[in-house]
Structure 1
């Protein structure tokens, strides 16, 4: 870090080296761990100030006033024998003075290997470099396969993903080693379906699954929804958001993340995923999505807002849940889709395909996965320094 001084010699701002990267349908500031303070209040202040948090517009920072553009990745060479780099993810809230480290972000994970390659943190082989990523938030290992040319991660290609204009070089992300990422169990409660009783007496069936990140799955109909609602409508319905928050809190307490349901904290695990069987709907750009083009419809809610598309880790957990007999996700997709090697998730920006190959166990909880992954693209957008005012 370097400092910018005023005319009288006082340091007014600190410059911190960073790279702005898009990973999948999210964006983040990428830092070398050596360039930021150690974990604690000083690091949190730096990240919040760099993003411009708390402020709904994040006008005095690099954030884009949306949760998907208010993210941070902190990278270093790993000392583990089974990993090449360590990656810490931070979710910086927008209008609240908060930073969360409890979970990983699948979309940002897809940019970790390209960053590590371009920054010289890993050995490069062409045409494909495999990078083993230790996610410190969950303690899990991810494997990323990146196309390389001239010693750098390729950018151009013919891979298209819903929610990102154009095409890019394909990045293959393997999440097979992330089962039980937070709780140590695929079925976090031990059951395929649990019934939660809310404060108002309503009883809501849920499935709580932990793969890549723990998620609580809720049938759209049980919330009075069709499953085709879009983020603005869901986020604006505060009664609905409060109900979903209570469901998250109660599920989180049940699996040991909180002492009581009303003590849920950032980033609000388990993530809430509203699921419904396939049906025709229009995405946020008013483009039609046909029922035959997806295996289920899904809307993900975290931090009191509906995700603009679908979280990468959320998609992994949804895919895993779809192969566990009896879960609400399995019920939504039906038997036909359950026998395929991909899950097509209809989300607010279109349809994403997830690779999932499962092997049945003696019980649903013993379902094993031979493949669990997704295809993403990533791109380095800007490199330089971010200026943070001195306290």
Structure 2
């Protein structure tokens, strides 16, 4: 039996925020994968090493967590006032599908850097020294992100002293602005609060009725109170990810919330839409030891947040969920806002499993409807490896 040789595809392996992913220029993909569809999905699955029944992604670039099973495709934008189009794929670890339903806020921090280094940003828009403003069209959700990328001697500066909890080493700071971040999800009507309420009673079999804030901002997210589901808000990954009953409970909350948000029509559809919505639980400030051993003092944070991604408690915080947290915190009366002490605010610092993160949001109310003009946070990014990835020629 004859086997096809491997092919090689130009690619860059990057860290963005607390995530890692394989970055491609659209023009460098094989012709069959330059269009959305089965061939593209099959290619990315093989690159990342999925589906893997062992859950390790040993035969691919993935790192066997939701934070490291990601792919990004970039192309020069033809959209007015934008430099680059950014498409994100969340690759399932153990199942044969790629979820295109949302953005990755962490990898957004690497998009500007990659776009500049790859020639996707016009040279006249990049200073020899200073900060380059890269205007990104996030194609998954149809939103604009503005990345402020430091430049030294005409090249992206990746090293620096900016520290980000969840990332071991310091790097250069990249500030991100998520403009008009309320996500326009199919079936959700584009409303920030798809049910029309800041807090809903969400009925979940086995749990009864939970108070929930369901918001479309950054990424569709369902917030519940930690104490309502038996938690403190100080939990680390091992306290939840090793508990099958807990994970099943969170998946049930996610599925029923997705129906209420209009993202799916029946709870059974949630299994094929793992990336969105997210589920998070919040609590008032409390002191705890982060996963690194670092002590987080209650007086240094406004609230506690823990969030799940792809069925597991996240080791830090997804960037898009941070946008949802900042947005919900800015709107008086949401569960997130109440956990942070209530009232009006333009920024919060919250505690997550790896430490703390500050995120800002500017919320306004007009005619009884809330809107957010932008959410702001800082991340960092770094090229880890560049060259080619190789996949068998018959993989897609």
TM range (shorter): over 0.9
TM-score (norm 1): 0.93
Partner of 2:314: 307
Q: Which moved more, 1:179-188 or 1:45-54?
A: 179-188
Write the mapping of 1:225-264 to structure 2, written as runs, cut at 5 A.
Answer: 225-264=231-270
Counterparts of 2:143 and 2:204, CA distance in 1: 33
Partner of 1:70: 69
CA contact (8 A) 1:266 1:303 kept: no
In the TM superposition, residue 60 of structure 1 has moved relative to its aligned partner by: 0.7
Counterparts of 1:180 and 1:113, CA distance in 2: 21
2:130 paired with 1:127: yes
Within the candidate set 6, 9, 15, 1:13 is matched to 6
Partner of 2:351: 346
Counterparts of 1:307 and 1:108, CA distance in 2: 15
Counterparts of 2:341 and 2:220, CA distance in 1: 22
2:14 paired with 1:24: no
Unaligned runs of 5+ in 1: 1-7
2:362 paired with 1:357: yes
In the TM superposition, residue 340 of structure 1 has moved relative to its aligned partner by: 4.4
Counterparts of 2:67 and 2:51, CA distance in 1: 15
**How has the CA–CA distance of structure 1 residues 153 and 301 changed in structure 2, closer, same or farther, with 3 Å as cutoff?**
same
Partner of 1:166: 169
CA contact (8 A) 1:48 1:99 kept: yes
In the TM superposition, residue 226 of structure 1 has moved relative to its aligned partner by: 1.0
Write the mapping of 1:76-91 to structure 2, written as runs, cut at 5 A.
Answer: 76-91=75-90
Unaligned runs of 5+ in 2: none
Instruction: Provide the secondary structure at the position in 2 that maps to 1:79.
Output: coil
Counterparts of 2:234 and 2:175, CA distance in 1: 29
What is the number of equivalent residue pairs in this alignment? 380
In the TM superposition, residue 201 of structure 1 has moved relative to its aligned partner by: 5.8
In the TM superposition, residue 178 of structure 1 has moved relative to its aligned partner by: 1.6
In the TM superposition, residue 151 of structure 1 has moved relative to its aligned partner by: 2.2
Partner of 1:3: none
Counterparts of 1:98 and 1:233, CA distance in 2: 28
In the TM superposition, residue 190 of structure 1 has moved relative to its aligned partner by: 0.6
